Structure 1
């Protein structure tokens, strides 16, 4: 994949911490949502009901849908999505609560992304060398088109 093709894709990372003030209302809303989901198979629906009643995080996972979050964004199409919900210990007054939660900090994320960009640049440079060999007739017969 070329750098130009890669630039068409953007990873959106969102971390949210929600306080559940009324777990009964949350569970009720999740159960209603599960019942109204026409695409859900009956077996899955039963398991979903049990999960939502057992765990507020599971109930929340049935109500929050990142697909809906980006569905109305003009000029963008969702390529992939995943999400999880879990109960966590949370202290908003802690000076370094992100690190205490084990979450990646922005500077660590930037470092990881720089490493990925370096790896991609190396891969692309190796591909260009291979393409030059193809054009010279040294490797194959596809006339310089990159094979992958």
Structure 2
């Protein structure tokens, strides 16, 4: 790919820590989204739907991942077309009072390497994560709302 062609593509990394303030509301919304998604698809195996429902009932991170759609982040930006996306969600320990929570001055990790740049090759998403144009499933096979 020539320099002019590669300049057309930009990797935007976004990292957020969200506090789950109402697990029941989050899970309920995720279950409604799954019901709507599987209702629209039709013909989906009942086992796949049960697996998705179980995942969002058991794990708030799975419920959140099923509802967050990276496509929505850029859909209204003029002159931009999403070429590829990946996302994941996990439960983490978080202390908002810890000054080292966001180490924004350090572009790499402790050994000076930026492992995040190597984690996602330019032409593929991390295994198990969503790519633009896939079948609409997010993390762990849980459909996302999109």
Q: TM-score, normalised by structure 1?
A: 0.66
Does structure 1 residue 56 correspond to structure 2 residue 76? no
Which deviates the most, 58-67 or 68-77? 68-77
- Match of 2:97? 93
Q: Quote how far apart the aligned CAs of 1:4 are.
A: 0.4
Deviation per CA, 1:9-43: give whole Å up to 9, x if none: 01111011110011000000000001111248333
Counterpart CA distance in 1 for 2:53 and 2:32 is 10
- Match of 2:10? 10
Task: Give the number of aligned pairs.
Answer: 111
Equivalent position SS for 1:78? coil
- Match of 2:135? none
Pick 1 or 2: higher relative contact order, CA cutoff 8 A, min separation 6.
Answer: 2
Equivalent position SS for 2:107? helix
**Structure 1 runs of 4+ with >6 Å offset:** none
Counterpart CA distance in 2 for 1:108 and 1:30 is 35
Q: Quote how far apart the aligned CAs of 1:73 are.
A: 1.6
Q: Equivalences for 1:102-121 in 2 at 5 Å? A: 106-108=106-108, 112=114
Structure 1 residues 28 and 74, CA gap change in structure 2 (3 angstroms): same
Counterpart CA distance in 2 for 1:96 and 1:48 is 35
- Match of 1:36? 36
Higher-helix-fraction structure: 1
Query: Where in structure 1 are there 5+ consecutive unaligned residues?
Result: 117-148
RMSD: 2.7
Flag the structure with larger Rg. Answer: 1
Counterpart CA distance in 1 for 2:48 and 2:36 is 13
Query: Where in structure 2 are there 5+ consecutive unaligned residues?
Result: 119-146
Q: Quote how far apart the aligned CAs of 1:55 are.
A: 0.2
Counterpart CA distance in 1 for 2:59 and 2:105 is 28
Deviation per CA, 1:19-75: give whole Å up to 9, x if none: 001100000000000111124833332211000000000000111000122122211
